[in-house]
Amino acid sequence: MNPIESIELFLKQPQIAVVGVSRNKNKFGNAVYRALKKNGIKVLPVNPHLTQFDGDKCYNTIEALPQEVTALFVNTPPEKTLQLVENAYKKGIHHLWLQQGSTDTEVLKYLEGKNVNYISDRCILMFAQPVGSFHRFHRFLSKISGKFPQ
């Protein structure tokens, strides 16, 4: 599967759990959660320290997510990401978006050879429609520089 097909498949999932929401409204995980929700995507927040986020039930672990969740957006430091990815895989979540700065070689090595659709080191807000003005400009720059996935 080419990168753009992988991205489109991820964004077509009926529910996307978002790991990385927090009490701090300036955190990127919060912006992603709200943007996806505003775009009509059913999102579920995951944070071990919250019971609610943005008026929605917040799940404290990946294991606590409903069984029908098939996609996970991860916006955590790399040292936390491997355990999250392992837990998601064991739960049967095989669509992963590892936001820029959330992954390292250990995570990518774990995913090698597994039947997992994953996107890494790309900003989801450049692809989730409709793309906002700042991310639309970033997307444009990525296209003219040849870094946009085909």
Query: Cα separation of 100 and 47, whole Å?
Result: 19
CA-nearest of 64, 103, 68, 110 to 89 is 110
Q: pLDDT 10s digit of each residue in the chain, 150 long?
A: 889 999 999 999 999 999 999 999 899 999 999 999 999 999 999 999 999 999 999 999 999 999 999 999 999 999 999 999 999 999 999 999 999 999 999 999 999 999 999 999 888 988 887 767 766 666 566 677 777 677
pTM for the predicted model, two decimal places: 0.90
Query: Cα separation of 101 and 77, whole Å?
Result: 7
Query: Cα separation of 33 and 55, whole Å?
Result: 12
Q: Which amino acid is at 118?
A: Y
Superfamily of domain 3-144: NAD(P)-binding Rossmann-like Domain (3.40.50.720)
DSSP class per residue in 43-91: EEEE-TT-SEETTEE-BSSSTTS-TT--EEEE-S-HHHHHHHHHHHHHH
8 Å CB contact between 90 and 110: no
